[in-house]
Amino acid sequence: MTRNHNINILAVITALTTSIHASASPTTITHQDLSDCDTLGPLPNVMDELGTVVFPADELISAVANVTSIDACPLNSSVNIPNALLVITNLTNLSFTDLHYVADPATTFSNFDGLINGEEAVVIDNVGVNRPLIAEIGGTQPLVFEPGETWEIVLDDWFSAIGLNAADLSSIGVPSIIAPDPSSGSIVANVVPEPASLALMSLATLTLLKRTR
């Protein structure tokens, strides 16, 4: 009886964990720190991808882009190449943390911190030497991309060899695998678990620990 009860609790924990991570498109992540500005990691093996237009409601963002003279990492920025100002808004009912911008193969920018899945990538934050996040509008928690919140992101010396815009984030996959590629990059992040899910998981875990002693 105890064994069956423990199995049931483990099933609950597994289901809750799965529900937390199933709320957005799972993307397998490999990364390499290059120490150009700051470091990328540590990163989990799986993260969620956010994007525009073709993405479902629980991973949908809007994006627009312009140019800016603001440098995110002046150490590497060139005065001869304009910087991109990428503005994204969270259109989901979920919150996300650990946002990273990942370039597609035809896209380059200079304030990358390393590579994700072999492509240039940067942590979207305002900490350290490299500070691409210049504004968080409408949120209540720093570095948490909340529902309805807008982030303004600087990508130094941003360039697309195939003439795309920095706001073209409309292909699923990191890097994008659709040809011809309508996307210049990707946003990957981690879902913030809802308090109710965390509470249930903690309760199930404590119950299991007590019964196995």
Q: Is residue 104 part of a domain?
A: yes
What is the reported pLDDT for 10? 44
Q: Which residue has the tokens 């942590």?
A: 123
**Residue pair 2/170 in contact by the 8 Å Cβ criterion:** no
Tens digits of per-residue pLDDT, 177-190? 666 668 999 999 99
Half-sphere exposure of 116 (CA within 13 A, CB side): 33
Tens digits of per-residue pLDDT, 13-55? 444 444 444 445 689 999 999 877 899 989 999 999 999 999 9
Q: Is residue 5 part of a domain?
A: no
Give the residue ranges of the chain where pLDDT is below 50. 1, 5, 7-23, 196-209
**Residue pair 120/112 in contact by the 8 Å Cβ criterion:** yes
- Helix 195-212 × helix 2-21 angle, to 10°: 160
Q: Please state, in angstroms and rounded to a whole number, the distance separating the CA atoms of residues 20 and 202.
A: 14
Q: Is residue 11 part of a domain?
A: no
**Residue pair 85/65 in contact by the 8 Å Cβ criterion:** yes
If one counts every other C-beta atom within 10 angstroms of the C-beta of residue 146, the result is 17
What is the reported pLDDT for 7? 47
Q: Is residue 75 part of a domain?
A: yes
Average pLDDT, the chain: 84
This prediction's pTM? 0.82
User: Distance of alpha carbon 80 from its chain centroid, rounded?
Assistant: 29
Q: Is residue 33 part of a domain?
A: yes
Tokens of 37: 């500005």
What is the reported pLDDT for 207? 45
| φ, ψ of residue 116 in degrees (nearest 5) | -120, 125
Tokens of 92: 């989901």
Tokens of 191: 């879902």
- Parent domain of 88: 27-188
What is the reported pLDDT for 182? 80
Nearest alpha-carbon partner for 129 in 104, 110, 116: 110
Total domains, the chain: 1
What is the reported pLDDT for 159? 97
| φ, ψ of residue 28 in degrees (nearest 5) | -70, 135
Tokens of 11: 């099933």
Sign, CA dihedral 168-182-188-193, equals positive
Q: Is residue 195 part of a domain?
A: no
Q: Please state, in angstroms and rounded to a whole number, the distance separating the CA atoms of residues 202 and 190.
A: 19
Nearest alpha-carbon partner for 57 in 32, 94, 106, 29: 94
- Mark out the alpha helices in the chain (DSSP H runs): 2-21, 195-212
